[in-house]
Amino acid sequence: MALRIEDYGLLGDLQTAALVGRDGSVDWLCLPRFDAPACFAALLGDERAGFWRVAPAAGGLCTRRRYRGDSLVLETEWDTPEGSVRVIDAMPPRGEAADVVRVVEGLSGRVPMRMALRLRFDYGHIVPWVRSRDGELVAVAGPDAAWLSTPVPLRGEDMTTYADFTVAAGQRVPFVLTYRRSHERTPKPVDAERAIADTEAFWTSWLRGFRYEGRWEDAVRRSLVVLKALTYKPTGGIVAAVTTSLPEQLGGPRNWDYRFCWLRDATFTLQALLGTGFVAEAKAWREWLLRAAAGDPADLQIMYGIDGTRRLPEYTIDWLAGYEGSAPVRVGNAASGQFQLDVWGEVLDGLHLTRMAGIESEEQAWDLQRALLDFLEGHWDDPDNGLWEVRGDRRHFVHSKVMAWAGMDRAVRAVERFGVEGPVDRWRATRDKIHAEVCDRGYDPGRNTFTQFYGSKGLDAALLLIPRAGFLPWDDPRVRGTVEAVQRELCSDGFLLRYRPGADGDVDGLPGAEGAFVTCTFWLADALYGIGRHREAYELFERLLDLRNDLGLLSEEYDPVARRQLGNTPQAFSHVGLVNAARHLSGADPAEHLGGGR
């Protein structure tokens, strides 16, 4: 059985990432990039699907672990009857090939150790041809090749490579796993000690640009490191998570592939990056956004591949049983073909934010926005699948309409403030028409709350974003009523659900339930602060920080009954929520880019 989701730590080289468990096992790694097939997939099945463990021969979970400073150099330690030992793990920023570096360091006594490597390409499906060459282990299967370099003797048994050795106090034993396409030349050897030093130096240098004043500096710094680690450096795209099919309900079917880039995350991510000083990363994300959104505005998708790929066909991998039996395991995401109206608003809002931040705006960027606005004008009153990608009937979701309003509003502001050209009177009229309709059809005066969709009896955590979008000010009675209704009806043990799946006749068209949504609960803390309930906001924010694992990582959801993390991990949306809520609760204006609310 796999470890709990929170038992995993993150390594990354800005092109892919690995998950390392408390037992010293790498149970998830896709090579050569985030969305490639996994060569270690034990996380979604068992050890037959591939893993790489370096740990005391007696096994067991570690005694303690930590990241070295602000870096992604992971130190895992065991205290055993024979002595103490540390395993240092790192993925240096990508050079000519992808490397995973592991160094065993003896701390005291003499500890028997065991290394076990089981490479299985294509999500555990393909067994490579393994041989020894020039003192290295070489594994090849089709387009994939990997090399393992270490000074300790290796042996093969049951289609797995082992090394048994003893480490004494002061000794250091390196292991380097390198990946490259099989048709390319053998990569140059990597010095393990230098690679670890270089990795630590990279992260330390990167964080020198950090800017935040508030009481949660350590949490904000770690979340920003996670966001950077989820960035695909060649394109600037930021994946939603490094995993696929970690369940929203243990044993259930709500298992999705999150190794792609969602446009809905654009504004939130840009707020987090720009608000903490990382302009270069924000600019790279903006450039990815412009490339991905280019083309026919009618064909705008909710998500794209890390290089802007549009086709993300969804299929299932039947040979993997799924995390704790949560099947099916999915690759690709069929939601990429959904119509989600809010995406047009999200893109326009994100590009407006970068313009407000002083990031230069090319003429073609405004041309793209004009095309998006033309589409939005003609389709804002269409029903859609909504922010949460429901697979039931399309509806007139209130959040979608609010973001359509936001898209038109940002266009008006661009003309008024920056002097760009456009039919501002027409845009202003459309903006006002959307606003009036939402207030008329999306608001329930009897309950004093906006609803999930027109005529709905259910609520939606995304309604908390109404004031953040500038649609209504924080002191509007309808905003306060909505915040209080969402808190009252969607909270589970104090943490917020996205919505009630069974409301309004099974709104999302899927069986089963899900856990509390982490970023939505950050939105609630943010909203409580916005309506003046500051102490309650602080308390909720602190509770959310307690959901992080010992390394500061958050997944997508949390089960307040089982008290464990759920969903894909680490989740960019959760960490973005943490950063933005921390900034707001520390005094930053969450709508500073809007120039004031309506």
Q: What single DSSP character describes residue 425?
A: H
User: What does the pLDDT read at residue 595?
Assistant: 36
Task: Return d(Cα 400, Cα 251) in angstroms, integer.
Answer: 31
pLDDT tens for each residue of the chain, 598 residues long: 679 999 999 999 999 999 999 999 999 999 999 999 999 999 999 999 999 999 999 999 999 999 999 999 999 999 999 999 999 999 999 989 999 999 999 999 999 999 999 999 999 999 999 999 877 899 999 999 999 999 999 999 999 999 999 999 999 999 999 999 999 999 988 999 999 999 999 999 999 999 999 999 999 999 999 999 999 999 999 999 999 999 999 998 989 999 999 988 888 999 999 999 999 999 999 999 989 988 888 889 999 999 999 999 999 999 999 999 999 999 999 988 889 999 999 999 999 999 999 887 677 789 999 999 999 999 999 999 998 877 778 999 999 999 999 999 999 999 999 999 999 999 999 999 999 999 999 999 999 999 999 999 999 999 999 999 999 999 999 999 999 999 999 998 999 999 887 777 666 666 666 789 999 999 999 999 999 999 999 999 999 999 999 999 999 999 999 999 999 999 999 999 999 999 999 998 655 444 333 3
pTM of the model: 0.95
User: What does the pLDDT read at residue 394?
Assistant: 92
Residue 32: asked if its preceding bond is cis (omega within 30°), the reply is yes
Nearest CA among 499, 486, 589, 472 for reference residue 540: 486
Task: Return d(Cα 305, Cα 88) in angstroms, integer.
Answer: 32
Element housing 535 (H / E): helix 534-545
Q: What single DSSP character describes residue 95?
A: S
Buried/exposed 133-149: b ≥16 CB within 10 Å, e otherwise: eeebbbbbbeebbbbbb
Q: What residue has token string 């796999």? A: 2
Strand-strand pairing, 98-118 and 51-56: antiparallel
- HSE at residue 3, side-chain half, CA atoms within 13 A, is 21
Contact 598, 472 (CB under 8 A): yes
User: What does the pLDDT read at residue 589?
Assistant: 67
Tokens of 451: 């609803």
Q: What residue has token string 């970023």? A: 519
Contact 483, 520 (CB under 8 A): no
Contact 175, 54 (CB under 8 A): yes
Distance of CA 149 to the CA centre of its chain: 32
